[in-house]
């Protein structure tokens, strides 16, 4: 979209298109799922397309009493209902097949209610099928081992083993930016581990999560193992404080995580809390390739991605060339209608978020930053923006922007780039571009982040890898098999053997001679 074209002009949506998408969404069975059935009462919470505000559907406004009913029902099922590992694996395998069959529907749901373009939504659905397959395959993680009691004085005359058991009930609280795959990253490991799950999807993008619950039920997940409650007064607090909830898996911001931890008390909490990710471009890097990756990593999903490239440190010898390539690549991006196959960048999730990003950029400009490209807002859309000369204390440097803004800075010594990259309260991931494996490994060793990606940006996640970070980027790790370990606990069985001497003395003379 050119700077002279308005979003409304570039995003025509016919009445037929709107009617089609709303009809698809209306096929959802209800606005919440609890006590083994879909709820349709109190469906007063609106879900709107962030692109143009069109009403897509309604979901339930639930109550703390609904939460207590949902949790108690799952707890009873865990006590009384058998769901063996083989059946859990088969249900998740079947869910992967069903999702592949329904991929068009799910992609359209994601694109309609979220910020993602249809191309980005299709990629998310494809990834989610893999997450489900990985979850099924993680049944192999639910094994134990014998205990080496003979290596301890206290272990004399004892044998034993441990195996892994479910923690119980998992509360899964998920964000808007990946409304399908991030739900699967919590529900898949929880269910294969034998747990029950209460899902609270984002109130901004709940339709995809509810459709996913429906798909899991169709695949064979028992109705007593799962609940989904979107929102309502006191609902979030009721979920995290319920004494029968054993583990909370949360993806969101650090401030919300602090409130959850304070309210939940002595419970196991897994949290993925975002990032302020850096990429370092060394003097021997290939400028065009680095720039291409930076543009893709900074502006996908309109920058609303915890792995987005936010800060780029470029060796001074390549700075002008890399900047030129990044600016050229950014200008070539099209932002506009999400269902247009030619669109690269959709809207932010709300106009309020777009205004916040605008405010942060204006603050940086007032402090001396230069806008190389972008810097304009149209309703909920914010142009992909490249900044230079940004003072280190600006919010676009210090905090997670969660919008389509990247700041590029020069460095002379690698130690300066490492220091700059580490100078953040976050530590999720980072990227390093260099042709020297020695330099790459030396920098990677010094970066205080959960993953360092060589010759790519921070915007890389393999769904099987341990995913998470240091500092304010979270606690614990996702990534399917790693989440399965987090959502189960080792349980030991110990057998005391008869004392050897006592056993020998109890034998008859004939038995002793025969032995």
pLDDT digits (tens, 9 = 90+) for 268-284: 999 999 999 999 999 99
CA distances from 120 to 81, 97, 124, 339 (A): 39, 20, 6, 10
Q: Tell whether the model's pLDDT for residue 13 goes beyond 90.
A: no
How far is Cα 366 from Cα 186, in angstroms, rounded to an integer? 42
| Mean pLDDT, residues 182-190 taken together | 98
pLDDT of amino acid 144: 87
pLDDT of amino acid 21: 58
Could you tell me the pLDDT band of residue 150, with boundaries at 50, 70 and 90?
A: confident
Q: Tell whether the model's pLDDT for residue 104 goes beyond 70.
A: yes
pLDDT of amino acid 30: 87
Reported as half-sphere exposure (CB side, CA atoms, 13 A), residue 507 has a value of: 11
pLDDT of amino acid 151: 83
- Full-model pTM: 0.91
Selection from 240, 183, 236 nearest residue 207 by Cα: 183
Task: Provide, rounded to the nearest whole percent, the portion of the chain with pLDDT above 70.
Answer: 92
Cα four-point dihedral sign 149, 150, 155, 156: positive
The chain-wide mean pLDDT, for the chain, equals: 92
Cα dihedral 145, 149, 155, 160 in deg (nearest 10):
30
- Residue 274's Cβ-count burial label (10 Å; 0-12, 13-18, 19+) is buried
How far is Cα 230 from Cα 434, in angstroms, rounded to an integer? 45
More confident: 219 or 15: 219
Strands (E), 31-128: 32-34, 37-39, 45-48, 55-59
pLDDT of amino acid 5: 39
Q: Are 299 and 343 in contact (CB under 8 A)?
A: no
CA distances from 242 to 101, 262, 352, 423 (A): 37, 13, 32, 38
pLDDT of amino acid 154: 85
How far is Cα 172 from Cα 180, in angstroms, rounded to an integer? 13
Q: Tell whether the model's pLDDT for residue 390 goes beyond 70.
A: yes
pLDDT of amino acid 4: 35
Phi, psi of 489 (to 5 degrees): -130, 145
Grouping H, G, I as helix, E, B as strand and the rest as coil, residue 409 is: strand
| Mean pLDDT, residues 430-436 taken together | 97
pLDDT in tens, 472-489: 999 999 999 999 999 999
Residues written for the chain: 515
Task: Provide, rounded to the nearest whole percent, the portion of the chain with pLDDT above 90.
Answer: 84
Question: Which of 60-74, 272-286, 499-513 shows the lowest per-residue confidence on average (mean pLDDT)?
Answer: 499-513
Q: Which domains does the chain have, with CATH numbers?
A: 15-273+477-491 (3.40.605.10), 277-454 (3.40.309.10)
pLDDT in tens, 311-355: 999 999 999 999 999 999 999 999 899 999 999 999 999 999 999
| Mean pLDDT, residues 412-438 taken together | 96
pLDDT of amino acid 270: 93
Q: Tell whether the model's pLDDT for residue 450 goes beyond 80.
A: yes
pLDDT in tens, 229-265: 999 999 999 999 999 999 999 999 999 999 999 999 8
pLDDT of amino acid 28: 78
Q: Tell whether the model's pLDDT for residue 287 goes beyond 80.
A: yes
- The structure tokens listed for 329 are 């690549």
Q: Tell whether the model's pLDDT for residue 101 goes beyond 90.
A: yes
pLDDT of amino acid 153: 83
List active site positions: 272, 306
């Amino acid at each position: 979209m050119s700077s002279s074209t308005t979003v409304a002009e570039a995003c025509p949506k016919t009445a037929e298109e709107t009617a089609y998408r709303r009809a698809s969404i209306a096929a959802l069975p209800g606005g919440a799922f609890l006590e083994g059935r879909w709820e349709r009462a109190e469906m007063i919470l609106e879900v709107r397309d962030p692109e143009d505000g069109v009403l897509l559907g309604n979901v339930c406004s639930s109550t703390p009493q609904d939460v207590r009913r949902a949790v108690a029902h799952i707890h009873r099922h865990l006590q009384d209902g058998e769901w063996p590992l083989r059946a859990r694996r088969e249900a998740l395998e079947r869910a992967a097949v069903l999702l592949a069959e329904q991929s068009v529907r799910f992609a359209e749901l994601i694109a309609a209610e979220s910020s993602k373009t249809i191309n980005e939504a299709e990629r998310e659905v494809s990834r989610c099928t893999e997450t489900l397959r990985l979850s099924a395959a993680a049944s192999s993680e639910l094994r134990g081992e014998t205990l080496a009691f003979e290596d301890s004085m206290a272990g004399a005359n004892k044998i034993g083993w441990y195996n892994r058991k479910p923690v119980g009930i998992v509360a899964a609280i998920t964000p808007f930016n990946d409304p399908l795959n991030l739900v699967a990253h919590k529900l898949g490991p929880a269910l294969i581990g034998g747990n029950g799950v209460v899902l609270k999807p984002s109130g901004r993008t709940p339709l995809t999560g509810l459709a996913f619950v429906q798909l899991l039920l169709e695949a064979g997940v028992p109705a007593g193992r799962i609940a989904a409650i979107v929102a309502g007064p006191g609902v979030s607090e009721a979920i995290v404080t319920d004494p029968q909830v054993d583990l909370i898996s949360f993806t969101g911001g650090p401030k919300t995580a602090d409130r959850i931890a304070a309210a939940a008390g002595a419970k196991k909490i897994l949290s993925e809390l975002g990032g302020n990710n850096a990429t370092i471009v060394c003097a021997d890097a290939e400028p065009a390739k680095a720039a291409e990756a930076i543009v893709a990593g900074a502006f996908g999903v309109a920058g609303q991605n915890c792995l987005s490239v936010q800060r780029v440190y470029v060796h001074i010898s390549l700075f002008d060339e890399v900047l030129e390539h990044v600016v050229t690549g950014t200008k070539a991006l099209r932002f506009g209608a999400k269902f247009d196959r030619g669109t690269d960048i959709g809207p932010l999730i709300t106009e309020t978020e777009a205004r916040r990003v605008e405010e942060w950029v204006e603050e940086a400009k007032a402090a001396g930053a230069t806008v190389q490209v972008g810097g304009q807002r149209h309703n909920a859309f914010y142009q992909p923006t490249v900044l230079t000369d940004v003072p280190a204390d600006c919010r676009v440097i210090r905090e997670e922007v969660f919008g389509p803004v990247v700041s590029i800075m020069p460095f002379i010594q690698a130690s300066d780039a490492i220091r700059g990259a580490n100078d953040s309260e976050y530590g999720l991931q980072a990227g390093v571009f260099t042709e020297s494996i020695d330099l790459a490994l030396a920098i990677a060793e010094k970066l205080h982040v959960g993953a360092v990606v060589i010759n790519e940006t921070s915007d890389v996640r393999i769904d099987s890898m341990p995913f998470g970070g240091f500092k304010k980027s979270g606690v614990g790790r996702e990534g399917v098999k790693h989440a399965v370990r987090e959502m189960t606990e080792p349980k030991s069985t110990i057998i005391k053997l008869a004392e050897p001497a006592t056993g020998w003395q109890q034998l008859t003379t004939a038995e002793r001679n025969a032995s």
